[in-house]
Amino acid sequence: MTGPVVDVDKAVASLLDSARAASDHAYSPYSEARVGACVLDEDGNIHSGCNVESASYGLTQCAERNALASAISAGMRPGGAHVLLIFASGFEVLSPCGACRQVMSELLPADAVVISCVSDSEYRYWSVSELLPDPFILK
């Protein structure tokens, strides 16, 4: 993986508790999937989010997009983070959905690391460009 050197083990150790805590606030009466995510911005701030489901499934908000929206609303500029961590218990490691991949491609650098974990020892990670190699971009 090219780009910023991210120590994935260190990122998991420093961000997992925040993502786990965010997952405790998830509203998921339909899937019962409690997902939390957090973004570590370049100033060292952690921005968290959780999934919020809707009976109209298309309106469901994923934890990843909520964490990114939280970061942007706190003043992070697009491209201002290199790590996003996702936590979901009771599952195998989940990869982000297509909508989250598109938003990540717009708000994170292509070489940012996305880590999905179920514990501090069971995780998988990708760069944003690996998750979505040809994003939809308006110029």
Model pLDDT for residues 22-46, shown as the tens digit of each residue: 999 999 999 999 999 999 999 999 9
pLDDT in tens, 99-137: 999 999 999 999 999 999 999 999 999 999 999 999 998
13: which residues sit within 8 A by CB, 6+ positions away? Answer: 120
Backbone conformation region of residue 118, classed left if phi is above 0, alpha if psi is from -120 to 50, else beta: alpha
- 85, two tokens: 């961590």
**Fold held by 8-131:** Cytidine Deaminase; domain 2 (3.40.140)
pTM of the model: 0.93
Instruction: List beta partners, residue 83.
Output: 40, 113
> In percent, how much of the chain has pLDDT > 70?
97
- 126, two tokens: 């990708």
6: which residues sit within 8 A by CB, 6+ positions away? Answer: 82, 83, 113
**Catalytic: 92?**
no
Catalytic residue among 64, 106, 122, 130: 64
19: which residues sit within 8 A by CB, 6+ positions away? Answer: 36, 37, 38, 48, 63, 85, 86, 87, 117
For the chain, the domains span 8-131
